[in-house]
Amino acid sequence: MKTLRDNVQVAAKKASYPLFIPFIMAGDPDKETTIQLALALEEQGAHILELGIPYSDPLADGPVLQRSAERARGQGITLEKSLTLIPEMRKRGLTIPVVIFTYYNPILQFGEDRFINCAKESGADGVLVPDLPFEESQEFAKNAKENGLSFISLVAPTSKHRIEKIAKEAQGFLYCVSSLGVTGTRENFPPEAFSFIKQVKKHAEVPVAVGFGISKKEHVKDLQGSCDGVIIGSAIMKEVEKHKDRLKKESEREEAINSLKEFVAGIISS
């Protein structure tokens, strides 16, 4: 029987470029839209889904994701309620792996063991904690792995001498942060970003997906040959924000989601 961890690894390894990993915020603008967005993104070619947990102090998130988290929290979405969306997605037909993207403080408040157990029971396949330093993540990563969850590692330009070690221990796929700063769309990537990504790729034993700033087709084309795929979050949630009122209306939601699918297709299509 295939383990949950295998799901992430298999999905990442068998995807041809670009391995497409979209991020959506749980509960923005509401729970039903989150479920339908997940299904629409899989239909649009997503290989793995990152499901963000709304948090009040998201240090790595830019203004788009901060506003997204605020809207979700305004809907009463918590860590526990976010996890309940996954079995509903599965029931409605979602088959791709789901990686939970959450900061460490909500996990700490929820309880590490309880979180891992609930994540496993929900049907999640992995977890990514951007503010948990590599040196402090070993026990948590081990616990996650033993429960069939991939612990997704991040490597950033500031990692320097730790790049090789982080890359060697990565599970599922390796999240390569393209540049310093917070999430958000960018016009282009500096030359040093490509040399950094290639350095990461040289040491990685799992597929390398680049995030932070991927927002247009040219970015995906420019990255081809340097990495295995892309993670797109702010650009998608910016479109959700643009259509948020229509997405909350049942009569207009399908049309709004189709607009979002067209937007995504414009970025990742060859």
Of the candidates 42, 61, 125, 239, the residue annotated as catalytic is 61
- Cα distances (Å, whole numbers) of residue 112 to 86, 97, 193, 209: 19, 21, 34, 26
Cβ atoms 31, 77 nearer than 8 A: yes
Distance CA 229, CA 17 (A): 6
Write phi, then psi, for 10 (nearest 5 degrees): -65, -45
**Catalytic-residue membership of 61:** yes
> What are the residues whose beta carbons fall under 8 Å from the beta carbon of 185, sequence distance 6 or more?
64, 213, 215, 234, 235, 238
Tokens, residue 33: 């839209």
Task: Indicate which residue of 42, 50, 228, 239 is catalytic.
Answer: 50
> What gap in Å lies between CA 234 and CA 28, rounded to an integer?
13
DSSP 3-state assignment of 98? strand
Q: Is residue 43 among the annotated active site residues?
A: no
User: How far apart are the C-alpha atoms of 76 and 66, rounded to whole Å?
Assistant: 15
The DSSP output letter for 153 is E
How far apart (Å, rounded) are the C-alpha atoms in residues 102 and 55?
A: 8
Amino acid type, 138: Q
For residue 58, give both structure tokens: 């998201």
What residues are labeled active site?
50, 61
